[in-house]
Structure 1
Amino acid sequence: EGADGNDVSIANGGGGVMSSEQMDVEAYASLYSGRTKIMRLMFIAERCVNKSTGLEALRMAYHEIKKDDNTALLKDVLHKLEARLAPNSPFSLLQEQDWIDAVERRAQLRKEKLENELNGYKTNLIKESIRMGYNDFGDFFYAHGMLAEAFKNYVRTRDYCTTSKHIIQMCLNVILVSIEMGQFMHVSSYVTKAEQTQTQTSDLQDTLLLAKLKCAAGLAHLHASKYKLAARKFVETNFELGNNYTEVIAPQDVATYGALCALASFDRSELKNKVIDNSNFRNYLELVPEVRELIHDFYSRESLGRCTSKDRGNAHQRIIQ
């Protein structure tokens, strides 16, 4: 089942495909921001068997990419659009070439400027300026879709951080890029570092920061198929997260991932105490009524002795999808 509750089936070869049922792509995409919004649209375009929905997703991805400077991603989307549309379509690489060339020239000038500034900071041994220089480089490479280079530069800021705020920002940057690269060992490491830094340097809990870290940790556990650990992280995520981490996850996803992981791994007592009676997580479940009903139906069937190992297997299968 998708994060928005749309049905998902398994295609031949094991890849998830969206069902032929029409989905509201615009409403779904509005839950996200940044690169993850684009990648989710491209996923829909690739996996959706409804051609009009897939084409709508590609067009939306195109317009999102044009707001930024990722020319490689734009070329990818244009190739996909060209394969689906008539030759005289306005969506073509040829018609966008001038825009692409202008962006790439501007990017080269920006890169040279950043290099000169950073070299000057290094010569003068200005620690804070060096940190900012590497951070600017990380932002630059991230904006252009060069994730490995962005990762390197964000990590390099570590040696020049002079405050806990700097360390935590470095961790969040590395976590974001690592999630997008699928490097979840790095995600786990930097979640731990950020949590330790926050605990050691402040008597007050930063609720929003901790909620973001819970989500990142939950995604890392989910990627490793550690469903019980993932469930715990998601159900513990403070509802204050709201729409403040949409570059990574939507609150509807917290509900869906947390619920499905709990169904696959929690016993009856845990399901009752940590999910159904959890007033904080209940707020998330209210965002996805079908998932909330699934939880209550599952628990009711267990109470009546009607829940089987097959039901838990179905929960596992939904997570995989």
Structure 2
Amino acid sequence: MNDSLLAFFTAMDNQGGVIVRDTPKFDLDLYIQNYRGRTRFDRLLLIGRSSVPLCVDALKAAIAEAKRSRDTHRYREAVECLRIAAPSEPEASFDQAWLESTEAFNRAETHRLTAELKGYKNNLIKESIRMGNEDLAKHLESTGDLNGAAEMYSKMRPDVSTPKHIADVGRHLVRVSLQRRDWGMVSAHLSKMGSSHNAHDEDSVSAFLKISQGLSYLGQEKFLEAAMSFLLTNPAAPEASFNEIASPNDVSVYGGLLALASMDRKDLQTHVLDNPSFRTYLEREPHIRRAITQFVNGRYSACIASLEAHRADYLLDIYLQKHIPKIYADIRSKCIVQYLIPFSCVSLDTLNTAFGIPSQPIEEELFSMIQAGTLQAKINTIDKHLTTVSANPRLKLQASALKTARDFELQSIDRLRRMSLAAADLELKGHKKMGGHGIVSSDLYDEVTVG
């Protein structure tokens, strides 16, 4: 690594960025061809800011992508990164002529579209107003004004008149919310889309819905819900219907990884390996299917090795990057727990051989799992072995019986009290109690009156 790259990644590390020193297994040109729209730049810039081997190539591609759009802020950001990482590259200098002409065009286009929309509103033609709002929103989105674009897309709602228009508005708003990483708004807009699409475009819209919902759940670290959304993605949907946000390969990776992190062996077999719809996506990423199969078959070390071989790829994904440490930790914990089920005592050397990481002794990981309650076991640091703590079935049965007896006693006392009141010719009735914020009706406030 030369001095410029070293300075660049030192600055990225100081800012809390993720630095990936291993070479990923994908080809950058083939990888970025799977996408269209603004996500292409986002992915290229992330790779340029994170991957040591691909830094310069990704930043140069990001600059070229930015110049094909009208977002000058993105262009400045990419050039500034390349200027620090590789100042000798021709692209590391600002194209001042392009910047000035693009910014002038953006101002003129914004003024023109705003004037047209004002004219449509004066004429009170709903379809023209809808199209005017959409044109202005798309322009603002292309220039990087996502807040303004979201506002204009929202203003289309009163003027939509067909199910297709309703679905289009929802797609626009979901796409912008994903770019803003506003996961709550993604879910809100998806719920409004509902079943507004026609049978003709049902496959494409349903795939977009499932993938967007999965990304929203992933952003909120709801791994099981996210996995189920990706696993239900329609394989018949055309790629063009959702490649503004993800590719079919991404669906396979997201669904498989999150399922591994959140499902047990039976559910993995049922919902992933035996799922005929998701099998179409799994065929695109054989290593994900192999890792899941290895986990289901009890080959936990091989499963972890398969995933570790592709860690660099996942750390360069815009949606997965921040979640990879937790996802991998959850999968490792599951593998260790499943591995220990048949044994009452295992030596730490055996566990180190199966799951050890060169830079981290297995004892620290086991200690963390025991503290978190994930693993019921004890570590003997003198004899260097781990003893699992098996549940005592007799003790559990006794505790359950005692709880049942206590519940029965409380219910019996309550029934006897009510029977005594009824025998004394007293009547029990609830009444309404005035609270600080209105009237609250509750059976907890009983009034006893003489019958």
Whether contact under 8 Å (1:264, 1:315) holds in the other structure is: no
* AA partner of residue 43 (structure 1): L
What residue number does 1:33 align with? Answer: 36
What residue number does 2:136 align with? Answer: 137
What residue number does 2:209 align with? Answer: 213
The 3-state SS of whatever aligns with 1:206 is helix
Whether contact under 8 Å (2:235, 2:280) holds in the other structure is: yes
The 3-state SS of whatever aligns with 1:261 is helix
C-alpha distance in 1, partners of 2:50/2:185?
Answer: 28
Cα deviation code 1:49-89 (max 9, x no counterpart): 22xx1000000111111111111111111111212233673
Query: Any stretches of 5+ residues in structure 2 without a counterpart?
Result: 1-12, 308-323, 331-451
1:215 Cα deviation from its structure 2 partner: 0.3
1:112 Cα deviation from its structure 2 partner: 1.2
Number of corresponding residues: 298
* AA partner of residue 191 (structure 1): L
Give me the TM-score of the superposition, normalised by structure 2: 0.62
* AA partner of residue 92 (structure 1): S
Query: Any stretches of 5+ residues in structure 1 without a counterpart?
Result: 1-10
More helix by share: 1
Please say if 1:318 is aligned against 2:328. Answer: yes
Cα deviation code 1:200-234 (max 9, x no counterpart): xx567711110110000001111111111111110
Percent identity reads 32
Give me the TM-score of the superposition, normalised by structure 1: 0.86
Stretch of structure 1 that moved more, 266-275 or 58-67: 266-275
Q: Which has the higher contact order (CA 8 A, sep 6+)?
A: 1
More strand by share: 2
Whether contact under 8 Å (2:224, 2:258) holds in the other structure is: yes
* AA partner of residue 180 (structure 1): Q
Please say if 1:298 is aligned against 2:295. Answer: yes
Residue 59 and residue 169 in structure 1: after superposition, are their counterparts in 2 closer, same or farther (change >3 A)? same
What residue number does 2:189 align with? Answer: 190
What residue number does 1:241 align with? Answer: 237
Q: 1:229 aligns with which of 222, 225, 232?
A: 225
Cα deviation code 1:144-201 (max 9, x no counterpart): 0111111111111011111111111000000000000001111111111112323xxx
Whether contact under 8 Å (1:38, 1:64) holds in the other structure is: yes
Residue 119 and residue 14 in structure 1: after superposition, are their counterparts in 2 closer, same or farther (change >3 A)? closer
* AA partner of residue 290 (structure 2): E
C-alpha distance in 2, partners of 1:22/1:215?
Answer: 24
Please say if 1:63 is aligned against 2:73. Answer: no
The 3-state SS of whatever aligns with 1:17 is coil
Whether contact under 8 Å (2:294, 2:303) holds in the other structure is: no
Please say if 1:270 is aligned against 2:267. Answer: yes
* AA partner of residue 40 (structure 1): R
Alignment of 1:111-130 (within 5 A): 111-130=110-129
Residue 254 and residue 307 in structure 1: after superposition, are their counterparts in 2 closer, same or farther (change >3 A)? closer
Whether contact under 8 Å (1:188, 1:217) holds in the other structure is: yes
Residue 146 and residue 205 in structure 1: after superposition, are their counterparts in 2 closer, same or farther (change >3 A)? closer
The structure with the largest alpha-carbon Rg is 2
1:143 Cα deviation from its structure 2 partner: 0.6
* AA partner of residue 31 (structure 2): Y
C-alpha distance in 1, partners of 2:174/2:111?
Answer: 27
Please say if 1:18 is aligned against 2:20. Answer: yes
What residue number does 2:90 align with? Answer: 89
C-alpha distance in 2, partners of 1:242/1:209?
Answer: 10
Residue 138 and residue 293 in structure 1: after superposition, are their counterparts in 2 closer, same or farther (change >3 A)? same
* AA partner of residue 86 (structure 1): P
| RMSD of Structure 2 on Structure 1 (CA) | 2.6
Residue 14 and residue 74 in structure 1: after superposition, are their counterparts in 2 closer, same or farther (change >3 A)? closer
